[in-house]
Amino acid sequence: MSTRTVDPLSFRRVPLTVFVLLVLAAVLAGIWPIAGLLATWVPALIVPEAAGLPSLIPPLRLWPLGGTTWAFWLSDTVGALVMLAIAAVQLRAATTKRPDPGPGRAFGTAVGATTLAIIGGNLVRSVFLSFAVNADLGTYLGQVVAGVAVSALTGALLGCLVGAVAAVVAAVRRSPAADAAPDAAPAPAAVPVIE
């Protein structure tokens, strides 16, 4: 039985970077002047919504857009919060297993966490949309399967961008210059973990 120490309160630099980038993506997806401008210049971004699926990234907004109802706003908000919760759990598990990942592992962790988080957030929104339009069982299953497929593709593409940033952060973190910082703070108290 091996033992190692894990700080229960640490949320290290790489997972924090991934989480902040996901929050930023959700907020940017919720700001209509930005999302509307992107939809105008890249109309392919609104194809899922035109097909009755949720938008690509669950948006995080303070209030509903234009003529949408509070129920749709609530489903978007819950979807974004579920996305962030899944990402936090995935990143925390990865941090517990490998506290100081290399660039490759940081990239893979970011892609995986982003993909699963977007699938989870959009799954909540797909279920709400199917109830909002009173879909029958076949339509419901089709929406869920198509929503998961589109979300997986979106999560993988966004995850590559987030993963690239996470890999850079991990590479900078592991550089000898970063380890030899003279003003480094002492390590926080650690709790032993028995595996």
pLDDT at residue number 50: 83
C-alpha to C-alpha distance for 162 and 21, rounded to whole angstroms: 7
Residue-wise pLDDT for 85-141, tens only, equals: 999 999 999 988 888 888 999 999 999 999 999 999 999 999 998 888 888 899 889
C-alpha to C-alpha distance for 125 and 63, rounded to whole angstroms: 17
Sign of the alpha-carbon dihedral angle for 155, 158, 162, 164: positive
Residue-wise pLDDT for 36-60, tens only, equals: 898 889 988 888 888 888 889 999 9
Q: Is 22 exposed, middle or buried (0-12, 13-18, 19+ CB in 10 A)?
A: buried
